[in-house]
Structure 1
Amino acid sequence: MAEVEDAGDFAGVPDGFQRLWTPHRMAYILGDRPSEDAGAGTDCPFCAAPDKDDGEGLIVHRGTTCYVVLNLFPYNPGHLLVCPYRHVPLYTDLTPEETAEFAELTQHAIGALRRATEPGGFNIGMNQGEVAGAGVAAHLHQHVVPRWAGDMNFLPVIGQTKALPTLLEDTRQALLAAWTP
């Protein structure tokens, strides 16, 4: 659990900062995630998630060719990912059927987030390739990030830390209740 504590001092001089400890993020920071050349299967989190039950896999909706999952490392509460089941790296690798469902599930994700969390806006996009910022470059995924006025503060910019006010499972349950086909 994250904890805020008073700033320590360096050589007897307090620095004026408080600390928000998030040790659970070290696995991600240290690179315990698939590389760009990760193969399909258990090495790929987006191939492994559909093999788990929905709660464990953080899955919000399963379609025919694509599914929607909560981001394990969200920028904001409700940060969703739309993923094809098939292990492909690029948007241009999708079949016409996958492309249609990918777009449809993105629209449904926006609708569910609006009903469940009433955001003021959204960031929607995908980073293709590690150099473009993709954390899991080997398996295509589109981010749907709800945004609120004032949701960005100094923590992510200065402290490389994001404070999230809700648990992933609580967010998943709210989205499940708000999801409509």
Structure 2
Amino acid sequence: MKKNLFVPSKGEYVRGKRPTVGCILCSIVQNDPKVVNLKIFRSKSFTVAVNLYPYNPGHLMIFPNRHIEEIEKLSFSEVKELHKLTIISLKILRNLYSPHGFNIGYNLGKGSGASIEHLHLHIVPRYENELSFIDVLSGSKIIVEEPKDTVQKLKREYKKYAEELLAQ
């Protein structure tokens, strides 16, 4: 029999109990005090932030500073900047967390499971032996690092790449 551990705050978020803001990612970009701000880095066109409900330590989201919902709305220069941010983010995550792989992708539209209507790229570090006894017995995952601790670690690393990231 499969048991579940519940994380009520995530369930409430999925069901719509969120800060009263128009767009949570736009609010992060604007440093709105109504939202938990796990921002790590901001470039000309994008913000890098730790996911508030991470699948693993180091789970990042990269999103445009301007509100768009469709990837086709990115300019070619934004695509180039996003790719550069993605590559540097992978380098940083490899150095800090030594993952065995990554899941990188978008959830586009409600049919994909997207819960935020603002384009964002997920980068999730993955490990060969992720399934622990608690994962198997409870159908849940234990995250060993608080997102705010992840932010502090990653901010230090992004500062090392700031000049390269901000050069256009």
TM-score interval (norm. to shorter): 0.7 to 0.9
Cα deviation digits, residues 78-126 of structure 1 (max 9, x gap): 1000100111111111012211111111111111111111111100000
- Tell me the distance in 1 between the aligned counterparts of 2:29 and 2:81: 16
Q: Counting helix residues as a fraction of each chain, which structure ranks higher? A: 2
Question: What fraction of aligned residue pairs are identical, expressed as a percent?
Answer: 35
Select between 158-167 and 114-123 the one with higher mean Cα deviation.
158-167
- Taking the TM superposition and a 5 Å limit, the aligned residue runs for 1:9-158 are 20-33=5-18, 42-52=21-31, 56-136=36-116, 138-153=117-132
2:156 aligned residue:
177
Count of equivalent residues: 159
Give the structure-1-normalised TM-score: 0.76
Q: Is the 8 A contact 2:63 2:119 kept in 1?
A: yes
Shift of 1:160: 5.6
Unaligned runs of 5+ in 2: 162-168
Select between 69-78 and 24-33 the one with higher mean Cα deviation.
24-33
Cα deviation digits, residues 44-64 of structure 1 (max 9, x gap): 1110001228xx510111100
Output the aligned Cα RMSD. Answer: 2.9
Higher relative contact order (CA 8 A, sep 6+): 2
Give the structure-2-normalised TM-score: 0.81
Q: 1:25 to 1:95 in 2, by over 3 A?
A: same
- Tell me the distance in 1 between the aligned counterparts of 2:54 and 2:149: 14
Cα deviation digits, residues 121-153 of structure 1 (max 9, x gap): 1000001111022121x2100000001121245
